[in-house]
Structure 1
Amino acid sequence: MLPRLWTHYEDQPGIRHLPMVTETKQGIPGDPIDVGLVGRQQDVIQAMIAAGWRPADPVTLKSSIDIVGSVLLDRPDPQAPVSPLFYDGRKQDLAFEKEVGRSADRRDHVRFWKVLERGEEGDPVWLGSATYDRGVGLSHDTGAVTHHIGPDVDAVRDLLIDDLKAAGVVRVVYQVTGLGPTLFGRNGGGDPYYTDGEIWFARLMPDGEKNPKPATIIAPPPSVGAKDAIWSAVADLVGVE
């Protein structure tokens, strides 16, 4: 349980009691929820494409063969499929990725689930899990072939929000409490991760419109800012950053 002073949902109170970790098909805790978007599905898709993130192909026999070829032959596959993770019993609604290396074994990617039809702003709310795939290997827990994620999940979250802001498709950015500070997390593949436990939200422009002004940044409550400073110091002390 987080101290009450470190929890804040004033900008999106409807997610207060929602899960903050995904699950694998086997029910093993997966990647943490660390990013949120506010907008209709078409707004999400248009914004992500404008920010340089491509929709991932669905998992089919052909796309599975293509991603194996991409990894083995070190060739690009910019819309390689993203394996399913589950949130509240549902597979992701949308998935996007951004190439990092030449092949699909290294990429930034994010899965999104629509969790509210109407959030605080009156538009749908999407929660997502953004991570970096650093290579392909065997799951430490199940032995299945899987992508292994990089430990610094906050870096991918921050990159995604920065890309959306740079594309001019964001009205407002704010933080909401997520999993909470976690130094030694493990996902469904057994990969370690660490996070400050905050969800960064972006309220999107409608219909692919561009914001003529920089996005408004709403600062978190002072107690949360202090928590973030403590987190950064502790993370530095134990050498995870």
Structure 2
Amino acid sequence: MGADALRKPRGAREVKAVEAAADRAFFILGGVAALWLAAVLLRDSLQWSRVWFLLVFWLVLAYLALPRLNRVLTRIYLPDYFVGRARTSDGLLGDPVNLALLGDADRIHCTMRRAGWTRADELGWTSSWRIVTATLLRKSYGSAPVSPLFLFGRQQDFAYEQEVDGSPGKRHHIRFWSCPPGWMLPGGIPVDWLAAGTYDRSVGLSLFTLQVTHKVAESIDAERDHVLASLQNAEPGVPIRTIRDFSTGYHSRNGGGDTIETDGNLPIVDLQPFPVPAGQPTEPGSRSARRPAPVVFGSLLVAGRGLAALALAGGVLAPGDRPLEVSLGLPSGMAEALEGLLVPATVVVAAFGAGELLLAWLIFNGRNWARITAMALSAAAIILQATAVLNGAALPGFGDNLVGFSLDVLLLIALSSQRARAFAHRRTRQPGGTLAQPSEPPRPR
């Protein structure tokens, strides 16, 4: 146990352990529920009148079920230390690390600009929509975002690219990660940055998740040499040392299922002798500390649940001149029996709705206990649904609780994601709830 853990009060350690256990349980339950939802959608899409459900089935399978399944499985069979490969957000082995650098971030930014590279935009709502429209309409987008890959447990600090033929579907690109303080390559060789350069040749479907993604050219060594040539043109005489056979030469596949091959050599580019010229524009930070999309999406789902409860309570409390059996759709005998419970029950529903709105606001602002509470409510609803099915009830289907079940699954997937956990933990650690630079928490065990 580390010194920081020993200094924490015992109660705080116990709370943290309970939260970690809850996160693991919700993470796994979210994956199982997503697979169940995909199976339900596939069943409903087999009817000609609902064949359009195949699109919904693909979206759920590719963007919810398979990524979560890969994340759970890779945590079991892949080592959690440096193996010379980046990882995808789903935990799969991604692009090989094929370049190392010495020097600070400003020196890298200056050299990359001089070498004719463009810094990639951060991945967000606007940039994601822009790259989709640019790809479909075959428009140029020279600073299109790249997908996140992870090294040292965190996303790349920044990426650079060169668009080819004015198409965002084809481009040279390279991601950069700063090394942890004191970290060395195997063999005791110190470097400041590691990078992974590959060439995107087209757009297609991932072999492992069926998501739309860029397809990578097989020879990553050619892209590594292209990057080196551009750096040498920008800084003639730049020292480059190559570690021969840093990794065994191999043929393999990246996180999208594309075949890749490399000779295993690792060049180390030393930019330290080249100071940044005066007057060079400064670069923004590595990543802005914006709220992750899963947090925004999850808080909206919780808020929607609260608004629905308030609408239900308002409809019951203000039935107008309609009899109770008409306003609630109940038989007259049952309506009379429930007459005395109407106001207390409606108050409870209204209080639940107000509590959900408060919970959504707290989730949006990064309160970890609120995130766990919201997941617990959705998990309870999913477990109750599963229990009813095991006891003979019908599976949720089109027009039969499918929407409510789907929203609970979506909420559980969103708020149990790594990005949502990292955001909540970061806000919890920071005094006053201020944002810190993002870092990925340990993957669920």
Which of 139, 143, 147 does residue 214 from structure 2 map onto? Answer: 147
* SS of aligned partner of 2:145: coil
Partner of 1:172: 239
Deviations 1:1-27 (A, max 9, x none): xxxxxxxxxxxxxxxx84301111111
Q: Counterparts in 2 of 1:91-240, with a 5 A limit?
A: 91-117=155-181, 125-168=192-235, 171-176=238-243, 177-182=245-250, 184-204=251-271, 205-208=273-276
Which structure 2 residue ranges, 5 or more long, are not aligned? 1-80, 278-445
User: How far has the Cα of 1:208 moved from its partner?
Assistant: 3.1
- The answer to whether the 8 A contact 1:33-1:179 is kept is no
- Provide closer, same or farther for how the CA distance between residues 34 and 158 of structure 1 changes in structure 2, counting only shifts above 3 A: same
**Is 1:39 the counterpart of 2:103 in the alignment?**
yes
**Equivalent AA in structure 2 for residue 29 of structure 1:** L
Distance 1:187 1:33 in 2: 12
Q: Counterparts in 2 of 1:2-17, with a 5 A limit?
A: none
Distance 1:116 1:124 in 2: 10
User: How far has the Cα of 1:169 moved from its partner?
Assistant: 6.2
Partner of 1:87: 151
User: How far has the Cα of 1:107 moved from its partner?
Assistant: 0.1
- The answer to whether the 8 A contact 1:112-1:127 is kept is yes
Backbone CA RMSD of aligned residues: 2.1
Q: Which has the larger radius of gyration?
A: 2
Deviations 1:148-201 (A, max 9, x none): 10001000100101100011166310112433201x210000000100011112
**Equivalent AA in structure 1 for residue 100 of structure 2:** G
- The answer to whether the 8 A contact 1:57-1:79 is kept is yes
Moved more, 161-170 or 188-197: 161-170
Partner of 1:68: 132
- Provide closer, same or farther for how the CA distance between residues 119 and 141 of structure 1 changes in structure 2, counting only shifts above 3 A: closer
* SS of aligned partner of 1:159: helix
Deviations 1:77-127 (A, max 9, x none): 11000110011211001100011121111000001111154689x996111
- Provide closer, same or farther for how the CA distance between residues 147 and 170 of structure 1 changes in structure 2, counting only shifts above 3 A: farther
* SS of aligned partner of 1:202: strand
- The answer to whether the 8 A contact 1:117-1:123 is kept is no
Distance 2:127 2:237 in 1: 32
* SS of aligned partner of 2:173: strand
- The answer to whether the 8 A contact 1:118-1:125 is kept is no
- State the 4+ residue runs in structure 1 displaced beyond 6 angstroms: none
Deviations 1:18-40 (A, max 9, x none): 43011111111111010111110
Which structure 1 residue ranges, 5 or more long, are not aligned? 1-16, 210-241
- The answer to whether the 8 A contact 1:34-1:178 is kept is no
- Provide closer, same or farther for how the CA distance between residues 53 and 169 of structure 1 changes in structure 2, counting only shifts above 3 A: farther
User: How far has the Cα of 1:206 moved from its partner?
Assistant: 3.3
- The answer to whether the 8 A contact 2:142-2:166 is kept is no
User: How far has the Cα of 1:76 moved from its partner?
Assistant: 1.0
TM-score, normalising length: structure 1: 0.74
- The answer to whether the 8 A contact 2:100-2:191 is kept is no
**Equivalent AA in structure 1 for residue 212 of structure 2:** V
* Number of aligned positions between the proteins: 191
Higher normalized helix content (fraction of residues): 2
**Equivalent AA in structure 2 for residue 163 of structure 1:** S
Distance 1:91 1:170 in 2: 31
Distance 2:177 2:195 in 1: 6
